[in-house]
Amino acid sequence: MESVNLQIKIEEQLAKNLPFVIYRKPEATIIQCRVQNDNKTYTVREFDESGFVFAPFDDKKDTFYIPEAISDYFEIQSLKATLKHKVNQDDYLLAIDEKARNNHVNLVSNGINYIKKSTVDKIVLSRRETISNQEKIIHLFQKLEERYKTAFVYCWYHPNTGVWLGATPETLIKVEEENFKTMALAGTQLDKGISLDEVLWGAKEKIEQEVVTEAIVEGLKEFVEKLEISHPKTHKAGTLLHIKTDIKGSFKNKNKEFKAIINALHPTPAVCGYPKAKAKAFILNEEGYDRAFYTGFLGEINIDKNTKNTSELFVNLRCMQYNTSKLHIYVGGGITKDSDPLAEWEETVRKTATMKSILE
């Protein structure tokens, strides 16, 4: 199916209010597409379903999915987009929205004070920025797909969620039969073009990474065996760098406990905080807006490939909610007792630039 036909298919699904998803996995050259054939709403209950899921940050709300049995699936070659300019990240640091800056600085300051008074080690605090939009959905997807080769790039539509697009660097979990892989991702700095082995990280980022890794391992240990944890390393995601630790092992009983495993991982300390329950309560009470599907997760569950049952889920980061006149861009960062509120604001500005850089 050619790219022009893909656009027509998207428009047909939107006109009929029928769900669809198009996505490209990290480093892949194939775009995968799944379009639902009926107008029923399907939600995940036990994670024994098969299809493509789209889950919110708040696990008390519905996780939607496109069932494998009620949808058409096809693949096309990677699309080519023409990116006419390269954004200077410093331009966005100069174009400051003072009200948004003050709100976020106050939020971070409140988070730091809460951490100092409580047993919480880390809270991930976020904000939403709205900008005007004149791009078609397919064009935004093409640009994301071209710019972010190492990310999971997607465009999702469901009448209950609207249109979302993103280019996320973070895997929630990848499963093949009883074996799994996940990652701990934390810390952020701009890519300055030096070798990844030469990148230096401060104490705040290293501590944040340790908290994320330890929390994931603690959440998984009841369900897994043969756990292997790599040394932390610098990982590039677009124009940003993060600290990444790979974690892998095998499940004791994947078929019986997959739902419990997902609940143990989501939301991860990298997008929520630690301990999870207290960090999440602070976020829901203090952020002042609904994250919706930002920092949720999405991807394939229980798909049979080469006679093996596989699932591949990604954390919904570097994402935007789309309509024909505006885009909502979501962005956040991890807060510890040593955080600097103004520096945390500037980090969110750099992260929004990774999404703005694809816009004309």
The confidence score (pLDDT) of residue 210 equals: 86
Q: Is the pLDDT of residue 91 over 70?
A: no
- Average pLDDT of the chain? 89
Q: Which two structure tokens, joined as six digits, stand for 115?
A: 């951490």
pLDDT tens across 95-148, in order? Answer: 668 999 999 999 999 999 999 999 999 999 999 999 988 888 999 999 999 888
Q: Is the pLDDT of residue 89 over 60?
A: no
The confidence score (pLDDT) of residue 208 equals: 80
pLDDT band at 223 (very low <50, low <70, confident <90, very high): confident
The confidence score (pLDDT) of residue 214 equals: 87
Instruction: Quickly count helices (H) and strands (E) in the chain.
Output: 8, 18
The confidence score (pLDDT) of residue 95 equals: 60
* Secondary structure of residue 292 in the 3-state scheme: coil
Over residues 197-226, mean pLDDT: 86
The answer to whether 13 touches 35, Cβ cutoff 8 Å, is yes
- Pairing between strand 240-251 and 308-315? unpaired
Over residues 324-334, mean pLDDT: 92
Paired strand residues for 174:
181, 312
Over residues 338-354, mean pLDDT: 89
pTM: 0.89
**CATH at 238:** 3.60.120.10
- Dihedral through CA 320, CA 235, CA 265, CA 224, nearest 10? 150
Lowest mean pLDDT: which of 101-105, 206-210, 297-301? 206-210
Q: Is the pLDDT of residue 324 over 90?
A: no
The confidence score (pLDDT) of residue 86 equals: 53
The confidence score (pLDDT) of residue 289 equals: 95
pLDDT band at 360 (very low <50, low <70, confident <90, very high): low
CA distance 238 to 230: 23
The confidence score (pLDDT) of residue 81 equals: 59
Q: Is the pLDDT of residue 246 over 70?
A: yes
Q: Is the pLDDT of residue 3 over 80?
A: no
Task: Name the residue among 19, 24, 32, 22 with its Cα closest to residue 64.
Answer: 19
215 against 42, higher pLDDT = 42
pLDDT band at 84 (very low <50, low <70, confident <90, very high): low
Q: Is the pLDDT of residue 26 over 80?
A: yes
Paired strand residues for 65:
53
Find the domain containing 255 and state its range: 3-356
The answer to whether 169 touches 237, Cβ cutoff 8 Å, is yes
Over residues 257-283, mean pLDDT: 91
Angle, nearest 10°, between helix axes 98-117 and 341-356?
130
What's the total number of domains in the chain? 1
* Secondary structure of residue 343 in the 3-state scheme: helix
* Secondary structure of residue 283 in the 3-state scheme: helix
